[in-house]
Structure 1
Amino acid sequence: MCSQSLFAWLALSFTPKMGAKALSRLMSIDSAPNLIKRDSPSLQAIGLTTEQIRYLHGEAQRQAELSLTWAEQDSHTILTSFDPIYPPLLKEIASAPPVLFVKGEVGCLSEPQLAMIGSRNASLQGLQIAKEYASAFTKHGLVVTSGLALGVDGHAHDGALRAGGKTIAVLGSGLEQIYPARHRKLASRVVENGALVSEFRPDTKPRPEHFPRRNRIISGLSVGVLVVEAAEKSGSLITARYAAEQGRDVFAIPGSIHSPTSRGGNLLIKNGACLVQSEQDVLDEIDTLVNWSIDNRASSQPDLFNDKFEQPRENGKEFNHNEELPFPQLLANVGIEATPVDILASRTNIPVHEVMMQLLELELSGHVVAVSGGYIRKGRG
Structure 2
Amino acid sequence: MIHRSEAVLRRRVIAARAPGLTAPQFLSLAKASPDLELLDEPDESALRQLGLSTAAARKLAAPDLAQIDADLRWLDSSRATLLAVTDEEFPELLRLSPDAPPLLFVLGDPGALAEPQIAMVGSRNPTAGGVATARDFASKFARAGITITSGLALGIDAACHEGALAGGGLTVAVLGCGLDLIYPKAHEALAGRILGAAGALVSEFPPATPALPEHFPQRNRIIAGLSVGTVVVEAATRSGSLITARLAGIAGREVFALPGSIHNERARGCHELIRQGAKLVECVEDVLCELKISFASQLLASPTTVAKNPPVLDKAYKILLDALAFEPANVDCLIERTGLNSESITSMLLILELEGHVAPHPGGRYSRMAGQ
TM-score, length basis structure 1: 0.75
2:75 is matched by which residue type in structure 1?
A
Measured in 2, the distance between the counterparts of 1:249 and 1:190 equals 25
The answer to whether 1:2 aligns with 2:11 is no
Superposed CA offset, 1:182-229 (max 9, x none): 111111111112111111112211000100001111111111110001
Q: Which residue of 1 aligns with 2:180?
A: 176
2:238 is matched by which residue type in structure 1?
K
Measured in 1, the distance between the counterparts of 2:241 and 2:162 equals 19
Equivalent of residue 284 in structure 1, options 284, 289, 292: 289
Q: Which residue of 2 aligns with 1:140?
A: 144
Measured in 1, the distance between the counterparts of 2:123 and 2:22 equals 30
Equivalent of residue 101 in structure 1, options 105, 124, 127: 105
Describe the SS at the equivalent of 2:77: coil
Q: CA deviation at 1:53?
A: 4.8
Q: Which residue of 1 aligns with 2:355?
A: none
Segments of structure 2 that go 5 or more residues without pairing to the other structure are 329-357, 363-370
Q: Which residue of 2 aligns with 1:129?
A: 133
The answer to whether 1:38 aligns with 2:47 is no
The answer to whether 1:26 aligns with 2:29 is yes
Q: Which residue of 2 aligns with 1:300?
A: 309
Q: CA deviation at 1:142?
A: 0.5
The answer to whether 1:221 aligns with 2:226 is yes
Measured in 2, the distance between the counterparts of 1:23 and 1:140 equals 37
Q: How does 1:64-75 map to 2 (within 5 A)?
A: 64-73=68-77, 75=79
Q: Which residue of 1 aligns with 2:245?
A: 240
Superposed CA offset, 1:207-255 (max 9, x none): 0010000111111111111000111112101000111111111110001
Describe the SS at the equivalent of 1:172: coil
CA contact (8 A) 1:13 1:19 kept: no
1:17 is matched by which residue type in structure 2?
G
Q: CA deviation at 1:270?
A: 1.0
CA RMSD of aligned residues (A): 3.3
Q: Percent identity?
A: 42
CA contact (8 A) 2:16 2:205 kept: no
Q: Which residue of 1 aligns with 2:87?
A: 83
Measured in 1, the distance between the counterparts of 2:152 and 2:17 equals 24
2:309 is matched by which residue type in structure 1?
S
Q: Which residue of 2 aligns with 1:346?
A: none
2:94 is matched by which residue type in structure 1?
L
Measured in 1, the distance between the counterparts of 2:126 and 2:190 equals 18
CA contact (8 A) 2:16 2:206 kept: no
Superposed CA offset, 1:88-139 (max 9, x none): 1111112111111111121111101111100001111001100111111101
Measured in 1, the distance between the counterparts of 2:126 and 2:42 equals 52
Q: CA deviation at 1:62?
A: 4.0
TM-score, length basis structure 2: 0.77
1:37 is matched by which residue type in structure 2?
E
CA contact (8 A) 1:7 1:61 kept: no
Q: CA deviation at 1:57?
A: 3.9
Q: CA deviation at 1:35?
A: 3.7
Aligned CA distance change for structure 1 residues 76 and 280 (closer, same or farther; 3 Å): same
2:105 is matched by which residue type in structure 1?
F
